[in-house]
Structure 1
Amino acid sequence: MLPLCALTVSAVAQAQEFTPTQLEDVAKVRTLASQSDLSWQLLESLTTEIGPRLPGTENDKLTVAWAEKHLKRLGFDKVWLEAATFPEWRRYHESAKLIAPSEQPLHITALGNSISTPEQGLRGEVVLFETFDELKAAPPGSLKGKIAFINYRMNRDIDGNGYGPAVQARNKGAVEAAKKGAIAYMMRSVSTAHHRFAHTGGSHYDDQVTKIPTTAIANPDADQIARLLKHGHTPQVEINIQTEDLGEGTSFNVIGEITGSDYPDQYVLLGSHHDSWDLGTGALDDGAGMALTMAAAKHIASVTRPKRSIRVVLFAAEELGLWGAKAYFKRHQDNLTQIVAAAESDFGADVVYAFESNVNAASLPLVRAIAEQLKPLGIKYIGANRARGGPDLIPLNNLTSAPIFDLHQDGTDYFDYHHTADDTLDKVDPDKLKQNTAAYAVFALMAANGKTPMQGK
């Protein structure tokens, strides 16, 4: 055996934090999860037997029952539901076409929370803006009777860094357009795709500003409108979307726990969200996250009893505004310090390529020990210690400085399918899903079994 001084920092941390038996269990869990089809079986069941899961719909209720049933079937020690309310919304009809200089169909979708057009639709001249800031800078009244159109092009990157800038226009574009007098708002889809699918997503109004219909069109159609303008034409568009605000709805966070042997009140939180948009079957967003976190915890329980609990939280109504996450962390705000680690899977199902923490410096040796056990899965360690977690962890970040982790998935192609009718099971690679499952299982077991609990900054 090498003397202690010859060991790496990670090896020292592993020797200090874990027994040889615990490290053997980590290897067993990693192998089991890498070979098991469980996460694929769960995802296939969810997307086939239920499909789209818009909050408040009958399919949403079926999803809650499905998740509760399968968590119990998998042998979780505790399974329970917690209510979450949200603004319920439905999409009934959407269509659009160019009417000048020639008639051409447009592939359009209403953005979440959008109001309807008149039943016969509305028509208007299109005014193009390249960015959200350009729309904001337009003079008051300059869009009276017209349709505002933002043609911002999202960049493609492994970490999806183009999403934030692009999504600003989706969130508040209709508000800014209405301030300038527009009768409707239309945007290039928040997407990296060349496919002719429109990408939906959440949008928000300001109660002090007139509400106008808010929509997104497929990227090839956005290019068509831009070319018409380039060639000196004045495009006119007809939009007809029919939606409904149904007031306050109720869904449920579905929670399953593998109870820890030594410190059952302390827990590792593995998050995902069980709702999806209504256009596809939500395989990537976020059926994969549901399936792999459920399976990861099951694989751990099949090998060993962790010292601290592992809690899988399937959040409700994420797509309409993180409503399940807000409800969960508000409900548990008095004991958030019991969370020793939190991570969310909500970025599709491509491989996990990197691991990053956001913890107190004293916890970094344990983080490096976890990173060492993730290496056999092809996962590198990012030492910046600036992890942000998934969207459902935003309310947690706002309330406390919990130990947050990112298992970074390859998002190069994720926004080709995100929030579209093309988000279906065939876009998921079963082998990549296994690698994800193994990564979350290794992370959760080691975070639960460390000699000392991790702390946030």
Structure 2
Amino acid sequence: MMLRALPCALFALFAAGVSAATITTVPEAAVKQAIALREQALTDRQAYTLLESLTTEVGPRLAGGVNDQKARDWTVAKFKALGFDKVWTEPVTYPKWVRRSESASLVAPFAQQLAVTALGYSTATPKGGITAPIVFFDSLDALKAANSDDVKGKIVFVSARMRAHKDGHDYGIGSSVRSRGPAIAAKLGAAAFVLRSAGTDSHRLPHTGVTQWDPDGKRIPAAAVSNPDADLIEAAVRRGQPVQMKLQLDCGVEGDYTGANVIGEITGSEKPDEVVVMGGHLDSWDLGTGAIDDGAGVTIGMAAGALIGHLPQAPKRTIRVIAFANEEAGLYGGKAYAAAHRNEVAQHVLGSESDFGSDRIWRLNASVKPEALPAIDAMMQVLAPLGVERGSGRANGGPDLSPMHAEGMAALSLTNDGTRYFDYHHTADDTFDKVDPEQLAQIVAVYVSWAYMAAEADGDFGSAPGAFKRDGGDE
């Protein structure tokens, strides 16, 4: 199968004067083994079983929360039980944000209770809450253009809508309002900030998520209401009468907390110091049990690594699976990993994190050196029967591996079908029952295939300090 894909890529490289000695390929025996692993993964239910265990025995995993240590202990134990050769943790320190209680209601011109949730790093309201007029905006740009005289002392409400898409691109709308809106509103003198949830559902379940504050700027209470409640607020605003809201949030930062990234390895047989990296983030928001975001990513990496680890012969390079700490509130685990390992970037041969739910993967993008394109072509021959297409965009390896990619690690971005992802994302509905075992198995099949082929490849993928700061290329 590999030989049908290679000539085009090789012809282009040879035409450009590239030496055959620098080209990265995948041996035919490795391609055949990857196909066998792919087929095994499609009937394997290890990831599904692990995910049920994580969501049932540990549950919500708010960074620094009551289940943080329990989740790390669970991960260490599972890595060992699955036969990973080496298991360890690396410390990650970050602010400890806590949620205690929250409520909201319209008090004028109509009395209505609202389904609301505080946003990460929101401050608390004063005792008794805040009751103030709503000032309405339909987009982040409209808020940016606002006059402070129209905002001061009021509750800013931004009602930007997201629609469902296969690649989830509307999240750029919702996440920017959620993350940046509160700081903009605070600068304008708002008493509080509320947004239409960054989600595509019509359920009366609000979506939480992190905010980004200016280091020296004012912080205000910040929350999200469910999409049906946002519709209700819009209906009240359209009537032309002043709309007032009461908001009560008891939440805030309680000092710093030190958690950890949890790492497991299947040691390479010939080049143990060179690593192929995959994984997900272990933390979740506290409203659900973190099944699709991102318990699935952690257990996909575990299951794929275990399949490789159970082979009679380990691959040439080491397989490293990372369960990252506190992605949700600022990529703290990914940034800490990059800081600790930036001097080893050349040894990080290729990496990709799973953090876009548990539905099937349909697209692969690659940020690799041009000479490694034949190896990516070989991977595509194995992945195409799974319904994976070759993308034309750039790759960063996923959120937690993006800091390592910024240091120069070659990366893949594997896009899941995100059509229903933002129905559940960051809500109380992020639970195990939303996971389809067959789609989860397809993801494991994708990860075990590319990871094994990368570990067996003849040649490298271009990882080097500063290698991918350029624009363009096959990314």
Q: Assess same fold via TM > 0.5.
A: yes
**117, 121, 131: which one aligns with 2:125:** 117
Do the aligned residues in 1 keep the contact of 2:87 with 2:265 (CA within 8 Å)?
Answer: yes
Do the aligned residues in 2 keep the contact of 1:52 with 1:282 (CA within 8 Å)?
Answer: yes
Partner amino acid for 2:189?
Answer: G
Partner amino acid for 2:401?
Answer: L
CA-CA distance at 1:314 after TM superposition: 0.6
Residues 251-285 of structure 1 show CA distances to partners (whole Å, capped at 9, x for unaligned) of: 01000011111111111110210000000000000
Q: Does structure 1 residue 327 correspond to structure 2 residue 336?
A: yes
Aligned identity (percent) is 44
Residue equivalent to 1:284: 292
Residue equivalent to 2:439: 432
CA-CA distance at 1:10 after TM superposition: 6.6
Q: Does structure 1 residue 99 correspond to structure 2 residue 107?
A: yes
CA-CA distance at 1:139 after TM superposition: 1.2
1:185-204 to 2 correspondence within 5 Å?
185-204=193-212
1:383-402 to 2 correspondence within 5 Å?
384=392, 386-400=394-408, 402=409
**6, 10, 13: which one aligns with 1:9:** 6
Residues 376-407 of structure 1 show CA distances to partners (whole Å, capped at 9, x for unaligned) of: 2121222x25123311122123322x211011
Q: Does structure 1 residue 79 correspond to structure 2 residue 76?
A: no
* Cα distance in 1 between the residues matched to 2:9 and 2:105: 65
Q: Does structure 1 residue 409 correspond to structure 2 residue 416?
A: yes
**451, 454, 462: which one aligns with 1:455:** 462
Q: 1:365 to 1:385 in 2, by over 3 A?
A: farther
Q: 1:424 to 1:355 in 2, by over 3 A?
A: same
1:346-357 to 2 correspondence within 5 Å?
346-357=355-366
Residue equivalent to 1:369: 378
Unaligned runs of 5+ in 2: 11-22, 469-475
Q: Does structure 1 residue 165 correspond to structure 2 residue 173?
A: yes
CA-CA distance at 1:296 after TM superposition: 0.3
Do the aligned residues in 1 keep the contact of 2:5 with 2:378 (CA within 8 Å)?
Answer: no
* Cα distance in 1 between the residues matched to 2:438 and 2:370: 35
* Cα distance in 2 between the residues matched to 1:371 and 1:264: 25
**319, 327, 347: which one aligns with 1:310:** 319
Residue equivalent to 1:299: 307
Do the aligned residues in 2 keep the contact of 1:154 with 1:192 (CA within 8 Å)?
Answer: yes
Matched position secondary structure for 2:121: coil
Do the aligned residues in 1 keep the contact of 2:27 with 2:456 (CA within 8 Å)?
Answer: no
Residue equivalent to 2:16: none
CA-CA distance at 1:230 after TM superposition: 1.3
What is the aligned length?
Answer: 451
Partner amino acid for 1:413?
Answer: R
Residue equivalent to 2:143: 135
**84, 90, 95: which one aligns with 2:98:** 90
Partner amino acid for 1:423?
Answer: D
Residues 307-331 of structure 1 show CA distances to partners (whole Å, capped at 9, x for unaligned) of: 1111001100111111111111101
* Cα distance in 2 between the residues matched to 1:387 and 1:75: 31
Q: Does structure 1 residue 359 correspond to structure 2 residue 359?
A: no
Residue equivalent to 1:31: 39
Q: 1:385 to 1:10 in 2, by over 3 A?
A: farther
* Cα distance in 2 between the residues matched to 1:262 and 1:124: 66
Matched position secondary structure for 2:309: helix
Matched position secondary structure for 1:145: coil
CA-CA distance at 1:16 after TM superposition: 8.2
1:200-349 to 2 correspondence within 5 Å?
200-303=208-311, 304-349=313-358
Matched position secondary structure for 2:234: helix
Matched position secondary structure for 1:17: coil
Do the aligned residues in 2 keep the contact of 1:253 with 1:314 (CA within 8 Å)?
Answer: yes
Of residues 219-228 and 206-215 in structure 1, the stretch that sits farther from structure 2 once superposed is 206-215
Residues 221-266 of structure 1 show CA distances to partners (whole Å, capped at 9, x for unaligned) of: 1111111111222211111110131111110100001111111111
CA-CA distance at 1:210 after TM superposition: 2.2
* Cα distance in 1 between the residues matched to 2:74 and 2:452: 25
Residues 51-83 of structure 1 show CA distances to partners (whole Å, capped at 9, x for unaligned) of: 000111221100000000000110111100000
* Cα distance in 1 between the residues matched to 2:7 and 2:243: 62
Matched position secondary structure for 1:392: coil
Do the aligned residues in 2 keep the contact of 1:11 with 1:369 (CA within 8 Å)?
Answer: no
* Cα distance in 2 between the residues matched to 1:16 and 1:96: 58
CA-CA distance at 1:211 after TM superposition: 1.5
Partner amino acid for 1:424?
Answer: T
**388, 404, 428: which one aligns with 1:421:** 428
**139, 153, 159: which one aligns with 1:151:** 159
CA-CA distance at 1:24 after TM superposition: 2.6
Matched position secondary structure for 1:254: strand
Q: Does structure 1 residue 40 correspond to structure 2 residue 48?
A: yes
Of residues 88-97 and 355-364 in structure 1, the stretch that sits farther from structure 2 once superposed is 355-364
Unaligned runs of 5+ in 1: none
Partner amino acid for 1:185?
Answer: F
* Cα distance in 2 between the residues matched to 1:376 and 1:128: 49
Residues 322-352 of structure 1 show CA distances to partners (whole Å, capped at 9, x for unaligned) of: 1111111101111111111110100000001
* Cα distance in 2 between the residues matched to 1:369 and 1:10: 11
Do the aligned residues in 2 keep the contact of 1:359 with 1:385 (CA within 8 Å)?
Answer: no
Q: 1:34 to 1:228 in 2, by over 3 A?
A: same
Do the aligned residues in 1 keep the contact of 2:279 with 2:300 (CA within 8 Å)?
Answer: no
Matched position secondary structure for 1:202: coil
CA-CA distance at 1:148 after TM superposition: 0.4
